[in-house]
Every structure is written in C-alpha cells, then in structure tokens.
Amino acid sequence: MNEEMLEIPYEIPEDARNPVEPFLRMDRMPHIWCPACGIGTTVNCFTRALLDSKANLDKVAIVSGIGCTGRVAGYARLDSFHTTHGRAIPFATGLKLANPELQVVVYSGDGDLFAIGGNHFIHAARRNMDLKVICVNNMTYAMTGGQTAPTTPGTAITATAPYGATEPTFNLVALAEAAGASYVARWTTYHVKQLARSMEEILNKKGFCFIEVLSPCPTLYQRRNKMGDGLDAMKDYKAKSKVRNGAPTSECTLSKYGEIVVGKFVDRERPDYLETLKAQMTEALGDRYIEPEGTCCSEC
C-alpha cells in the first residue's frame, strides 16, 4: 500500500472521540481481534444501530457464547454476559423471561450458535422467544485455530480438514426461517449501512430475530485457502453479493466461490413466547392467573 495514502490532510483535535466510544468498554481496549477481522466492523454497525434506535442502554443486555465473536459481550458497555460454549441463547432466555423489559441481544459466532448451540437456536426460534440474535459467520472456528465449522463450505481447507472439507453446510437463514424466526436477514461486513439498518430494525421488532453477517477471517480461513487479505475479502463480497430482499431462503445456500445472496428474507408477525403464554394462562385460569412480572424477588 502507498504510504502517502495514510496521511490525513487535517488536524485531529486532542479531545476528539470516536462516536462509538460511549458504547464500548474503552478500558478493555485494545481488543483481541486480528487486523482485518470483520467482527469489529459488525460491532461498529451495532453501536450505530443502538444509537439510531434510541434504545435505553441501561435496559439492553448482551449475551455471547464462546469464540472470537463470543468476546463482543466483553467489550460492549452494557449489562453483558460471556456464557458457556453454545449456551448464550438459553441464558438469554432466562434473562428475558425474568425481566421482560430488557432488550436481550445474543451476539455470537457460527460455530457457537449452530454446532454446539444449534439445538438451542432452533428451539428459541420455534418459541419465538423475544431475542435478537446476531451471528458473525466467518465459516470457521477461529479462536481455536481455524477448524471446520458446520458453515465451512465444501472443499475449503481447515486445520481439521487439511485435504478439504467434505460435509454439506448449514444454510443458516433457511434454518432460521424453518424453525420459526420472525425476522431473518443476511449481510456481509461490506454492507455496513444495510447491516446497521437491519440491526436497528430488529431492535424495534418483537419476537425471535436473526441476522447472519458474513465476516472475513484473513488469519485462518483465507490464509489456508489462499484467498488473500481483508481487502480482498471486501472486494470478493462486493463482487459476489446480490441483494435480493424477500428471496426464498432455500435459494441462499453459501458456497466457497459462489454468489452470496444478501438482504432481508423474512419479516413476519407471530405472537412471541410471553404473549402466547399469558393468553393461554388467562384462558385457562381467568382471574387466578398472576402475570410473571413478579419473577423478581419480592424485595426488589
């Protein structure tokens, strides 16, 4: 890269602050993510969405599992929970049900949410639990050194598939729709505007919402597959992505070199878990039913 390109042609005031700083635990910077990793980009989009949604940040909780994306909870200046591998969704379920006024966001990776945590994902979608699930899909287990994930496309080289992956991959958006999600979208870290808007949309939507974000892992996935660096990933996303809002999710399977269908695929209204529960209890018990606001202990 040309050194001259890096020169900034104006003075930066000493008290200048990045607008995302109030959303982050700046005392934990620098973060652990590699140069050109896409997770930070998604976090930028998320902070933008929080800002634009005008959410009361004291009432937003973020829950992560384990992995590179699992570290997002630790950097967000929110009530934040770094749970066990795959279990962010059930933890978030308890958090939401015991205090329904919380906006609960699950932010985790593809391996965490769809391999070890796959069962929890489909059941939370089936229940239409009021959770906002953001999955950063880098197509590999990055934290542990780049092993095969259920999202690794066929023939890609990984640490545990040195001769090329052979298993078919999960189509995450189709899985989410089939399981019952109220909202399903996919973007890449190239689509920052669209991603931030999508995130803002789900912060204002009730029910189980799911966004898949394709994100580069230059250190492990791309290096092993001779796919270049972070900039190459952006060029690749730009060239291969086709925005097809409302596309049938069955046509959105990802492959190693093929087209990347992005957009909002599902946006439907279904009563969420608590609405259904309260309606049924009221029907069955009438005046005897006491709504579960009182799940907090009596002294608080």
Partner 1 sequence: MHADPRGVLTGVHFIDGDHACCEGTLAAGARFASGYPITPSTEVVERFASRIPTVGGLFIQMEDELAASITLQGAVWAGAKAFTVTSGPGFSLMMEHIGYAAMTETPCVFIDVQRGGPSTGLPTLPAQADMMQARWGSHGDYGIIALCPNSPQECFDLTITAFNLSEEFRVPVMMMLDECVGHMTEKVVIPEAEKIEVTPRRYTTQTPEEFHLFEPKADMVPDMVKAGDGYRFHVTGLTHDERGYPSMNTETQDVLVRRLLDKLKPLANGRALCETDGLEDADVVVVSYGITSRVAQRALQMARKQGIRAGKFRLISAWPFPAERIAELAGRVKAFVVPELNMGQMVLEVERAAAGKAKVISLPHAGGTVHRPETILKAIVEAAR
* Element holding 45 (H helix, E strand): helix 39-53
Dist CA 191 CA 243 (whole Å) = 10
**Quick one: 2 or 298, whose CB is closer to partner 1?**
298
Dist CA 202 CA 182 (whole Å) = 10
> Minimum distance between the CB of residue 56 and partner 1, rounded to whole angstroms?
9
Peptide bond before residue 30 is cis, with ω within 30 degrees of 0:
yes
Positive or negative: CA dihedral 228, 148, 251, 187: negative
Does residue 75 contact residue 64 with C-beta atoms inside 8 Å?
A: no
**Does residue 191 belong to the site contacting partner 1 (CB under 8 A)?**
no
Q: Which of 20, 51, 74, 227 binds partner 1 (CB under 8 A)?
A: 74
From 212-220, 228-236, 254-262, 292-300, give the range in contact with partner 1 by CB under 8 A: 292-300
**Does residue 156 belong to the site contacting partner 1 (CB under 8 A)?**
no
**Does residue 1 belong to the site contacting partner 1 (CB under 8 A)?**
no
**Quick one: 85 or 197, whose CB is closer to partner 1?**
85
Binding to partner 1 in span 83-142, by CB under 8 A = 83-84, 86-87, 89-99, 101-102, 119-120, 123
From 139-147, 186-194, 218-226, 290-298, give the range in contact with partner 1 by CB under 8 A: 290-298
* AA letter at 143: M
Binding to partner 1 in span 192-251, by CB under 8 A = none
Structure tokens at 199: 């995130």
Alpha-helix residue ranges (DSSP H) falling in 220-287: 223-224, 230-240, 273-285
> Minimum distance between the CB of residue 174 and partner 1, rounded to whole angstroms?
20
Q: Shortest CA distance to 140 belongs to which of 125, 151, 154?
A: 151
Number of other residues whose CB lies within 10 A of the CB of residue 29: 9
Binding to partner 1 in span 47-66, by CB under 8 A = 57-59, 61, 63
**Does residue 299 belong to the site contacting partner 1 (CB under 8 A)?**
yes
Q: What does each C-alpha distance from 63 to 97, 118, 161, 193 come to in angstroms?
A: 14, 16, 30, 24
From 5-13, 74-82, 194-202, 244-252, give the range in contact with partner 1 by CB under 8 A: 74-82
Does residue 132 contact residue 98 with C-beta atoms inside 8 Å?
A: no
**Does residue 31 belong to the site contacting partner 1 (CB under 8 A)?**
no
DSSP secondary structure code for residue 122 in this structure: H
Q: Which of 41, 44, 80, 189 binds partner 1 (CB under 8 A)?
A: 80
Q: Shortest CA distance to 49 belongs to which of 142, 143, 185?
A: 185
From 12-20, 37-45, 132-140, 285-293, give the range in contact with partner 1 by CB under 8 A: 285-293
SS3 131: strand
> Minimum distance between the CB of residue 251 and partner 1, rounded to whole angstroms?
29
**Quick one: 99 or 253, whose CB is closer to partner 1?**
99
- Applying CB under 8 A, the residues found at the interface with partner 1 are 25, 28, 57-59, 61, 63, 73-74, 77-84, 86-87, 89-99, 101-102, 119-120, 123, 277, 281, 285, 288-300
